[in-house]
Amino acid sequence: MQAAEQKFKQWMRILIVLFLIVTAYLVMADRLTPLTTQSKVQGFVVQISPEVSGRVVEVNHTNNQLVKQGELLFKIDDEKYQLAVQKAEIGLAQAREQEASLVADIEAARSNVKTTKVTADNANREYHRIKRLAKSGAVSASGLDSALTKRDQASANFMASKQKLHALEVKLGNGNGQSSAVLSAKNALKQAELNLENTQVIAQSEGIITNMQLHVGLFANANQPLLTFIPTDSLWVSADYREKATSEMVKGMRAEVAYDAMPGEVFPLIVESRDYGVASAQQKANGQLSSVEVSNRWVRDAQRVRVNLTSDTALSPRLFVGSRATVIIYTSGNSVIDYIGHSLITMISYLHYIY
């Protein structure tokens, strides 16, 4: 009887010691090797929209297909856009003709300036000659008035010719091809060519087309999304941690992840950043009083904050945006603690075979 009692006490001591060890580890692990199951794969989700409107005449890919950068996704009927380019080219040719005519007008205006200047100079000299003669009484007052009128008229004609030349030069611009008409026509042509180019929607990077609601014959409106595109090189992992677990985290720390979709495997990650806020603390200036959150719980729920992690290599194609995962981050640098953490996440990865 005493032997059984001694054995029971011995087991109780062992269990108490194990309980204390596990408790101590859990307290330390939440800061030294924080682990969370609230993790998932994130990625940029791009809504592809055409920049011009028209009927879809060509669709080159199917739903959930991998596409390479530069590949044609779909094409819009370009007939009216080709006509617009031709119209803009005609407009540019007409503007160049107008500019050539303007150059000829400028040459004529320059010649007219020279002529009116000579006339004005002659009229001015004639006026001064008659003025001297009028002082000696050789010319009547009416003759002097007539000479003055001619001088003023010639001077006015000279100034008018200069102003006309200036107006024509301003209209021409800084040189050949710089008139406002030509510049406007060039701009219209570039816009027409851009619209024609935009009838072909090209993949800007490698990625996956998903949730595609697109077929030949559909009328596409400009800036209205037609399909969803996920760049394959944009995936990362986000992990939501209790805020106390993030106090020791810094960029570049080593981490590991076990994906639900890939049981039995553990992959390395690197801490990239921690979000600087959560939605629950976002305030809106709506002119109302603040809303105070009331809780009667003695122990309140811990606030969670998002930590973003990346990989040196591209994530597996077996993953998708929204894939669930378990993440552990090693903040201590202690090999023993890190080994225990690695063993724990490895065990969790194998448990994914079951759940």
Tens of pLDDT, residue by residue over 274-332, are 888 777 777 777 777 777 777 677 667 778 899 999 998 888 888 999 999 999 999 88
What are the tokens at 66?
């991998």
Query: Given pLDDT bands bounded at 50, 70 and 90, which one contains residue 144?
Result: low
Query: Given pLDDT bands bounded at 50, 70 and 90, which one contains residue 175?
Result: low
Domain 50-77+199-224 shares a fold with domain 80-195: no
Phi, psi of 201 (to 5 degrees): -95, 115
Task: With CA atoms as reference, report the closest residue to 277 among 310, 245, 238, 304.
Answer: 304
* Maximum mean pLDDT: which of 176-180, 182-186, 285-289: 182-186
- Domain spans of the chain, in order of start: 32-45+231-277+301-355, 50-77+199-224, 80-195
pLDDT of 134 higher than 80: no
- List residues bridging with 219 in a β-sheet: 55
What are the tokens at 333?
């640098």
Tens of pLDDT, residue by residue over 76-101, are 999 999 999 999 999 988 888 887 77
Query: Given pLDDT bands bounded at 50, 70 and 90, which one contains residue 2?
Result: low
Tens of pLDDT, residue by residue over 205-241, are 989 998 887 889 999 999 998 889 999 888 999 999 9
Alpha-carbon gap, residue 298 to 188, rounded angstroms: 70
The HSE-up count of residue 163 (CA atoms within 13 Å, CB side) is 6
Fold of the domain built from segment(s) 50-77+199-224: OB fold (Dihydrolipoamide Acetyltransferase, E2P) (2.40.50)
Least confidently predicted of 105-109, 176-180, 205-209: 176-180
Alpha-carbon gap, residue 211 to 227, rounded angstroms: 6
Asked if 355 and 347 count as a contact pair (C-beta separation under 8 A), the reply is no
Instruction: Give SS3 for 103.
Output: helix
pLDDT of 13 higher than 70: yes
Tens of pLDDT, residue by residue over 19-52, are 887 777 777 777 788 999 999 999 999 899 999 9
Query: Given pLDDT bands bounded at 50, 70 and 90, which one contains residue 179?
Result: confident
**CATH 2.40.30.170 fits domain 32-45+231-277+301-355:** yes
Per-residue pLDDT at 314? 84
Task: With CA atoms as reference, report the closest residue to 324 among 208, 233, 238.
Answer: 238
The reported pTM is: 0.68
Alpha-carbon gap, residue 191 to 18, rounded angstroms: 75
> What percent of the chain clears pLDDT 90, i.e. is strictly above it?
35
Q: Virtual CA dihedral for 52, 54, 59, 62, nearest 10 degrees? A: 80
H helical segments located in 198-271: none
Alpha-carbon gap, residue 8 to 2, rounded angstroms: 10
Instruction: Residue count of the chain, please give it.
Output: 355
Q: Which CATH code fits 80-195? A: 1.20.120
Per-residue pLDDT at 1? 57
Looking at every residue in the chain, the average pLDDT score rounds to 85
